[in-house]
Structure 1
Amino acid sequence: MSILISDTARNNLSSWATRAIRDGYAIGACLSPFTSPDNSNGYKRSAKDTADTIREAGGEFWFDPMTYALDMPRTTDFKHYNTWGLSNRICEITKPKDLKIHIKRIYEIQTRLGSQLLAPTLLLTAPNSTKSQQALEMSCEAINIEGKTWLTIAGDQHFWSTEDELDAHIGALNQLEPSGWFLVVTRDNNSMPPKATPEEIYGLMRTTYALSQDRPVHISFGDLAGLPAVAAGASTISTGWDLRQRICAYQDFEERPSDQPGGGWYQRPTLYGLMGGLSKREYMTLTSENPTLAKQLAPGEIGPKPEQAFKHHAQVLSELVSELNLLSGESRVKALCNHYEQALPTWKTVASITGASLSAEDWIHPFQQGLRLFTTAEGWD
């Protein structure tokens, strides 16, 4: 298994994650202070209750402080965050004394909840900047306080798209020798599939390949867009039943009028043979017009209810990640290249049947082109 479930604004993390763990399509869940309160508020369970339930089911439980979200241009939702006793002002956290307090407070929370230690970081837009130096200093301090911690690297698309400066920043962080890594790409919006670029994919792959030589790498909010990083060496990836669990988008950190999550469930069926998804209407058209092809592209049942749709999606994602995890090096990357190559002509067939609004241009091309940049650089063409 290779799937961690991201936190949700809904009140069903522990129940759905528990079933996912017991049914074998997830290894655990990750809770965020921006999405869940410390103590029960009548709508959501307490963090300790959620953590205990997930671990009792045999799953991993993580508390991700997501300090980098404080740097996002649209973050104004602190109603849950402020229940944790954590500062919500970056200008305070980056002061040496307050930085230590912030890190120690996070470690105390994680220890209380039974989470593996995961240090905070800042959101970066450039790998060679004052902010990137502050992020490096934060990681250094986190390691000084407790060496057996995981580190996070969080950056926007521009950050991951740079080359030599990105590699130098990653090299400096790698010298800290943490227990493992969380990598995350932040985005301007939560459109699915995300508007990734080949350069961003290439940068994330280079980073993952370098870091995974010695320690495990997890791709936060990765979902299908994180598969190239898995091909480069990441062992686990995050997903969920809502878009905000699959994409780290600025708009999802804006203040909402109530605890209700807002919006509908994300129930677009994920088709293994397409390396992407269709709308429910498009999938129904495909199953009606060409049921044999529909079954070939998406083996198994895709139930009509939200949890059933999520289960199918997570199973597809888990199968792909597990397949890649059985391989190494060049063969790992080429296996994903083959999946994309096989999906390209199938997209044309499916589009002709369903009139799909999205295509290989959205689901395949940027990720495939990023893979090509990586294989060329490694001499694996």
Structure 2
Amino acid sequence: MTMNLQHGYGKSRKIDELSATGAISGVILSSGDEDVETLSATVATCRRVGVRTLLDPQTYIYSTSPAGTARHHQSQGIAYGTMHWSQDATRVSQQVRDVAAANAAIGISEVMIAPACKQSTFSDIWTPLSLQFARTAAKDWGGTRTIASVVIEDVAFDDWNSVADWLDVATTLDVRGFYLLVDRGRRDYPSAPWSPLRLENLMRLIYNLSELNEFEVHWGYSDIDGLLGVAAGGTSMAAGWHYSLRQFAISKWQPSDARGGLAAPRVYMPRLWAALRAEGEVGRILETEQPEKLLPKGFIGRFADRPLAEWGRVEAQMLHLDLLGRSAKKLSGMDSVTSRLDAVGASLEGARAHYRQLSRQNVLLPALYQARVESYLEAVEGFRGSESL
């Protein structure tokens, strides 16, 4: 696998179109965004176009305070209201059966994502329950059919020793692989630069699980950051059409009075490792001497007879997912982690040079974009040093 499409509401024909280009190899279904009948139809579509489906049961939303809600969980038998770290084995077993039933109701039986709770660190009070969910699911479903869930805050990656201690236990699980969700605590897009140390340790986690212990590792809601996970040996990354499907935040499911406006369409630019606002930011690049060196192939031709202001959200979504999926596929096709890291490192160095060149041309972009590239470079260098790659 290479890139999973992170599913949500309003999918239209995106699955058909992205599978036709080869950009996606799987779809991670949102149990909260569609009812059983619609999810069943989505599974049938995925089978028809030849992409794998996994259902995210999203049970982790019930382990937070305040607890989250999801519109369609009730009809699927997985609306738990609240979850407690001290719940007993009987409760765990019932929830594992509930998740299996929710999968069966929409036509999934081959491989399933186990229920999970959200952890703050790799050694907090929720950690034993998370491991117990994985063990119970593997016992009931069979290890080769079970993907364990790890839903955790990014601060957990401050300390490699605690990650390593968790790995000592996690690698004894009889599971097929791991579904990894990392909550960075914010929902703005693009997200702020990573702490290089946290990203380095996240890459080390992926590498240890995938390359050293031969588990599948699927990093959900990872978007552009996910390319570093693939470079580290991960099985797949994931991104969706809405910005809320490109980064994981548990607050998405919690009560809020906030009212969001329409998201500004963006253009994903692989050479800059960034998704720039179409109006304003991309417009400045179009005014440079050789904009084709930075913009996606064929992009300029789309505006021969229309203004950039007409760049719509659906066009932006499809281009983003197609280009990102192609990048992931190219990386995963390389024969070793070392070659993947070489390619990523060279691409990031190229992005750094492009930002400097734009600055010399007085094309001023938000500092956030270059800062993200610098954090990626530092994380990759730290990862290579720590794992002797």
Q: What is residue 305 of structure 2 aligned with on the other side? A: none
Partners of 1:274 and 1:297 within 8 A in 2: no
1:244 equivalenced with 2:233 (yes/no): no
In structure 1, the residue corresponding to 2:287 is in which secondary structure?
helix
Per-residue deviation, 1:73: 4.4
1:325 corresponds in structure 2 to 332
TM-score normalised by L of structure 1:
0.89
My pick for the range that moved more, 73-82 or 159-168, is: 73-82
- Per-residue CA deviation, residues 125-168 of structure 1 (Å, 9 max, x unaligned), is 11123211121122111111122211111110111332111112
Q: Which of residues 331, 334, 356 is equivalent to 1:348?
A: 356
Question: For the structure 1 residues 13 and 171, does the alpha-carbon distance in structure 2 shift closer, same or farther, using more than 3 Å as the test?
Answer: farther
Aligned partner of 1:190 in structure 2 is 187
> Contact 1:161–1:202 (CA<8 Å) still a contact in 2?
no
Give the total of aligned pairs: 369
Q: Deviations over 1:167-196 (max 9, x none)?
A: 121231121131122111112111233232
Cα pair distance change 1:266/1:19, threshold 3 Å: farther
Q: Do structure 1's residue 316 and structure 2's residue 323 form an aligned pair?
A: yes
Gaps of 5+ in 1: 40-45
Counterpart code for 2:373? I
Runs of 4+ in 1 over 4 A off after TM superposition: none
**Deviation of the 1:337 alpha carbon:** 1.4
Q: Structure 1 residue 71 and structure 2 residue 71: aligned?
A: no
Relative to structure 1, the CA distance from residue 104 to residue 239 in structure 2 (aligned partners, 3 Å threshold; closer, same or farther) is: same
Look up the equivalent residue of 1:160 and give its one-letter code: F
> Residues 256 and 48 from structure 1, CA distance in 2 versus in 1: closer, same or farther, beyond 3 angstroms?
farther
Q: What's the counterpart of residue 379 of structure 2? A: 370
- Note the 1:202-241 alignment, pairs <5 A: 202-213=200-211, 214-241=214-241
Checking the alignment, whether the CA contact within 8 Å between 1:216 and 1:234 is kept in structure 2 is: yes
Q: Do the aligned partners of 1:183 and 1:218 also contact (CA within 8 Å) in 2?
A: yes
C-alpha separation in 2, matches of 1:379 and 1:192 = 33
Q: 1:203 to 1:70 in 2, by over 3 A?
A: farther
Moved more, 302-311 or 25-34: 302-311
> Is contact 2:7-2:30 (8 Å) kept?
yes
What secondary structure sits across from 1:226 in the alignment? helix
Counterpart of 1:118 (choices 113, 117, 125) is 113
Aligned to 2:88: 95
Matched to 2:224, the amino acid is L
Cα separation, partners in 2 of 1:256 and 1:55, compared to 1, 3 Å: farther
CA distance in 1, matches of 2:319, 2:66: 32
In the superposition, the TM-score normalised over structure 2's length comes to 0.87
1:222 CA displacement? 0.8
Mapped partners of 1:47, 1:19: distance in 2: 18
The 8 Å contact of residues 156 and 187 in structure 1, kept in 2 or not, is answered as yes
Instruction: Give 1:337's aligned residue.
Output: 345
Q: What's the counterpart of residue 277 of structure 2?
A: 279
Structure 1 window deviating more from structure 2 (293-302 vs 200-209): it is 293-302
Aligned partner letter, 1:357: P
